Structure 1
Amino acid sequence: MDRRKNPRKMVTHPLEVRDLNRGVALGHLADIGLDGLMLLCPEVVPASRVYALALDLPGELGQGAQAEFGAESLWTETSLEPGRYWVGFHIIDISPANQERLRQLVALF
């Protein structure tokens, strides 16, 4: 049973998510909702860690637009694709402007 308050939408654009603290790509967006997201990552992401993330937004939302927010990693599972991991995040800190960007992104899917 899915206990999420906000449904997740499967992503149809290749959107990169970066770890702002390390300045590296963390993974690519697989699904998103207003309070969380799932990434496909090339490395294991430990659970219960807090990240400052930047999500590149598709051109429909503005050229070079991104959303920044704080998120906690909740779980990691090995993907069927070798060397890839599914990682679930809960958004824990986001500004009203970035929340609106996420709302617009979710509406695209």
Structure 2
Amino acid sequence: MDSERRQYDRYRPTLTLEVFDRHGGQRLGRIVDLSRDGFMLVTEQLLSVDSVWECRLTAASGEVREVSFGADCLWARPGTDEHHGWAGFHIIDMAEDQAARLELLLQAL
């Protein structure tokens, strides 16, 4: 996706942010960039394109330690080492209180 088409700035986290499946607890990956409407993960397994996830973003430190939302996997690519991959997500569902938490987290980045 071209940066000209993005509505929001993307931030590279300076702290560890991980995403987990809210239902099964599976670790989906570590965030390498984040915005108000999406994120990119480095993953340990290849995720399915067009899969929808109920996510729990966790921060290792800081004021905001957790944010919950629904996200759609827009693309996924295998890594070069066969053990990792990359995936891009669009946030599709988030409660107002969680959106406020995400905004605080972005301000901290």
Report the counterpart of residue 105 of structure 2 in structure 1. Answer: 105
For structure 2, the 5+ residue unaligned runs are none
2:95, 2:27 → 1: CA distance?
22
Matched with 1:10 is: 12
2:84 paired residue number: 84
Task: For residue 79 of structure 1, report the CA deviation from its aligned partner.
Answer: 2.7
Which moved further from structure 2: 92-101 or 53-62? 53-62
Q: Secondary structure at the match of 1:105?
A: helix
Distance 1:66 1:87 in 2: 20
Deviation at 1:106, TM superposition (A): 1.1
Unaligned runs of 5+ in 1: none
Provide the alpha-carbon RMSD of the alignment: 1.4
1:94 paired residue number: 94
1:81 shift after superposition: 4.5
Q: Report the counterpart of residue 68 of structure 1 in structure 2.
A: 68
Off by >3 Å, runs of 4+ in structure 1: none
Secondary structure of residue in 2 paired with 1:59: coil
> What are the Cα deviations for residues 14-33 of structure 1, in whole angstroms up to 9, with x where unaligned?
22110112211111111100
Q: Is the 8 A contact 2:15 2:59 kept in 1?
A: no
Tell me the TM-score normalised to structure 2 length. 0.90
Q: How far apart in 2 are the matches of 1:27 and 1:82?
A: 15
Number of matched pairs:
107
- Conservation of the 8 A alpha-carbon contact between 2:16 and 2:59: no
- Cα distance in 1 for partners of 2:76, 2:92 equals 18
Q: What is aligned with 1:34?
A: 36
The normalised TM-score by structure 1 is 0.90
Query: Structure 1 counterpart of 2:99, which letter?
Result: Q
The Cα shift of 1:58 comes to 4.3
